[in-house]
Chain A
Amino acid sequence: MTVTSTIAAPPINAINNRARASYARGYSKTLSLMLIAPLVLLMGFGFLYPVGKLLIGSLFAPEFGLEQFRRLIRSPLYLTVLLRTFEIAFAVTIASLFIGYPIAFAMAKLPRRWAALTTVCVLIPLWTSTLVRSYAWIVLLQRKGVVNELLLNLGWITQPLRLIYTEGAVIMAMTHVLLPYMILPIFAAVHAIPKELGQAARNLGAGGTSAFWRIMLPLSLPGVFAGCLMTFILALGFYVTPALVGGPRTMLMATLIGQQTTETLDWAFAGALSTVLLAATLTFVIAFRKTLSLNRGFAGVA
């Protein structure tokens, strides 16, 4: 009797599966709207409205026109700050990439125990406040800081070096703060590459190095691009770290905008600066994505 029931079972299962599949295909429209409503409202009231008001405000002071933008272009100071912002963001991205890629690769490939330890080392800074981490750099780099004391005691230098409030310090501190945003996407990409692809490359005659350059690296590029984009965009708008470690001579856009809103209370000009930063960022992102989508091989991978 048991046998008869097993024979009858498969068709019933098949019908059940089909029914379940159609349920799973999608939520109803109402439910979908309800689920995304909180996010949409938050975006609208918390982001689009105030930012829009700030941007539009820049066009109406003192009266309608591009006066604020003209002011921005007239003074070389502001353009220098904009350029410096991009330079530093670029430097931070490159530095993060070179430091981050090996770490991400190790996280994905090390034996589980070591990988877990590395992951913790990457994530703990991420869970610590940016402010604390930036102050930590001040402790290290200031005139009487740990680094100078050490070098003086070793007798390698006679005068304390000027380490803090330099562009180098800003790049170093920002790289440190933004490194996890580079590592995590690359880690995800490397981790997602099936182990067999590496083995296949070795089996087909590739040494360890060429297996990396020809297989692992190209396949991890989507993660590299995501990491670079994220780090670059975050670096463009970074406020706390450059403000603390950088000082007045390495002012960046975010610090400048902050000054306009909190110190000079020139909201219209802050709006103009924000518009320029936002436009530059968007242009960059769109150009970046366009380049990627033109490349067929990567389109296939991503």
Chain B
Amino acid sequence: MHGEPIDILQIEKTFGDKSVVSDVSLSVKAGEFLSLLGPSGSGKTTLLMMIAGFEFPNAGQICVGSRDITYLAPNRRAVGMVFQKYALFPHMTVAQNVAFPLRMRSVTTKDINRRVSEMIDLVQLTGFEGRYPQQLSGGQQQRVAVARALIAEPPVLLMDEPLSALDKKLRETMQIEIKRIQNRLGVTVVYVTHDQEEALTMSDRIAVMSEGRLVQVGSPFDLYQRPATSFVAEFVGKMNFLNGEYVEAELGKCRVRISEHATLSSDLVADGESEQYRLGGRVRVAIRPEDITITRRFEFGHTTDNVLRGTVEAVIFLGQAHIILVQIEGQGEAPVQVLVPSSIGHATFVQGETVDLVIAPSAVRLFPRGVGSVQ
């Protein structure tokens, strides 16, 4: 089985006079695992439904391989799908469910039996062929849904939040399982999720959607390290936001005043990008929790560049690390989260302690504080 590329061209979709997907163009490479990531109502499921053929776009084109499938009936698309609640047929056994797509394609009974048992073997459900879906656990139902979607060897597999009904532990097992099956079969996967952690773990590339538009498409690493907008910065991974005032730019560095005592400089501002900020303008400053170095404060008074002063509000134990919540002086914002590996964190900092947060210019991202930014 070989995956085929998907080309989505300038798709528009409105329900009534409400625009749900606007001007989305996206290419998925053959065999790629692409996640559509976004909050609910961002249009990601609608986009998936249009690829599956349950909704039709008002404008634009969807191609799989070299075939234009934009207005094709869902049963003629050769696009497999795993539904959010699996949508297994309750009146059929596991084997009958998995065999369904082959029966629809008039495959001989002998071939059906062989392929069903191969597929059931691949998803590790041997011995469960005669069970009905309601006699299976959530994870097993999930495996049946995947097997059923893949048995007719579609070049493209769509998955609509397939793991959202499972508990965390099982979800992690299934993430690995789905990747294993995908690697084995080489099928192109479009995976809809609102869980950024899941998207980061599983995807070759992630397409972030917000309010019906594509905000950024890139590898998990790209999205995490170089978020294009403050929406992506906030949605993907943990991010601290501070309010700042743009002060100056010199030698490729931008300087932002956080409070009377503290300024931060950033060297993450791309060429030309700095022009959108004017002196004295308000900006949003974004810093990852793991990019902050926290130290106990020894001396008072003098202002240092790239150091924020604050007070420890709480220490949260996560297992492999601690999150330390620090209220920054002169900022009314929510406390800043600092990630500290467990071995040091616990003993060193206590609630109420005054601390310095040291932040390298390479970890400071700036975003305009304009319309549409997440508050």
Binding site for B on A (CB under 8 A): 1, 3-4, 7, 194, 196-197, 199-207, 210, 214-215, 218-219, 297-298, 300-301
**A200-B81 in contact given A205-B152, A298-B91, A300-B90 (Cβ < 8 Å):** yes
**CB 8 Å contact bits of B78-95 with A (1 = contact, 0 = none):** 011101110111111000
Instruction: Answer yes or no: B270 CB below 8 A from chain A CBs.
Output: no
Q: Which residues of B contact A214 (CB under 8 A)?
A: 100
Given contacts A199-B54, A200-B88, A203-B81, 12 further A-B contacts (CB under 8 A): A3-B325, A7-B314, A194-B85, A199-B74, A200-B83, A200-B87, A203-B75, A203-B149, A204-B80, A204-B101, A214-B100, A298-B91
Give Cα A170–Cα B214 distance, bound, in whole angstroms.
64
Chain B residues packing against A (C-beta within 8 Å): 52-54, 73-75, 77, 79-81, 83-85, 87-92, 100-101, 104-105, 132, 134, 148-149, 152, 313-314, 316, 325, 335
Interchain CB contact under 8 A, B75 and A196: no
Interface of A is mostly: helix
Main SS at interface, chain B: loop
Which B residues are in CB contact (< 8 Å) with A202?
Answer: 53-54, 73-75
Known: A3-B325, A205-B152. A199 touches B87 (CB 8 A): yes
Contact A300 B316 (CB under 8 A): no
B85 & A196 in contact (Cβ 8 Å cutoff): yes
CB closest chain-B residue, reference A203: B81
B79 and A203 within 8 A (CB) = yes
Q: Which residues of A contact B74 (CB under 8 A)?
A: 199, 202-203
Measured between alpha carbons, how far is A290 from B46 in the docked complex, in Å?
45
Q: With A200-B81, A203-B81 known to touch, is A3 a contact of B313 (CB < 8 Å)?
A: yes
**Residue of A1, A7, A204 touching B148 (CB-CB under 8 A):** A204
Contacts A3-B325, A196-B85, A199-B54 given; does A300 touch B91 at CB 8 Å: yes
Q: Are A300 and B134 in contact (CB under 8 A)?
A: yes
Flag if B100 contacts A204 (CB, 8 Å). yes
Whole-angstrom CA separation of A200 from B97 in the bound complex:
11
A136, B88: Cα distance in complex, Å? 48
Query: Do A219 and B314 touch across chains, with their CB atoms under 8 A apart?
Result: no
In the bound complex, how far is the Cα of B352 from the Cα of A4, in angstroms? 12
A204 touches B325 (CB 8 A): no
Chain A residues lying within 8 Å of B90, measured Cβ to Cβ, are 219, 300-301
21 contacts between A and B (CB under 8 A): A3-B313, A3-B314, A194-B87, A196-B84, A199-B74, A199-B87, A200-B89, A201-B100, A202-B54, A202-B75, A203-B52, A203-B77, A203-B149, A205-B104, A206-B75, A210-B104, A219-B90, A219-B91, A297-B92, A300-B91, A300-B132
Contact partners of A204 in chain B: CB under 8 A: 75, 80, 100-101, 104, 148-149, 152
How many whole Å from B201's CB to the nearest CB in chain A? 25
Which residues of B sit under 8 angstroms from A3, Cβ to Cβ?
313-314, 316, 325, 335
CB distance from A293 to the nearest CB of B (A): 15
A194–B86 CA distance with the chains assembled, in angstroms:
11
Question: Interface centre among B75, B81, B84, B132, by most A CB within 10 Å?
Answer: B75
Instruction: Evaluate contact between B91 and A196: CB separation under 8 angstroms.
Output: no
Whole-angstrom CA separation of A203 from B52 in the bound complex: 7
Output the residue of A200, A204, A214 with the most chain B CB within 10 A. Answer: A204
Question: Closest 4 interchain pairs by CB?
Answer: A205-B104, A196-B87, A200-B87, A204-B101
CB distance from A100 to the nearest CB of B (A): 22
Q: Nearest B residue to A193 by beta-carbon distance?
A: B90
Q: How far is the CB of A199 from the nearest CB of chain B, in Å? A: 5
| B81: nearest chain-A partner, CB-CB | A203
Residues in chain B near residue A297, CB distance under 8 A: 91-92, 132
A207 CA / B53 CA spacing, docked (Å): 13
* List of A residues within 8 angstroms of B53 by Cβ: 202-203
Docked CA distance A121–B89 (Å): 32
- B75 neighbours in A (Cβ, 8 Å): 202-207
Given A3-B325, A202-B75, A206-B75, also A196-B83 (CB < 8 A):
yes
- Say yes or no: A199-B83 contact (C-beta < 8 A), given A7-B316, A205-B104, A207-B75: yes
**Chain B residues with Cβ under 8 A from A207's Cβ?**
73, 75
Which residues does chain B contribute within 8 Å of A205, judged by CB atoms? Answer: 75, 101, 104-105, 152
| A228 and B87 alpha carbons, distance in the complex (Å) | 28
Give the residues in chain B near A201, CB-CB below 8 Å.
Answer: 89, 100
Given contacts A200-B83, A215-B89, A297-B91, contact A4 B314 (CB under 8 A): yes
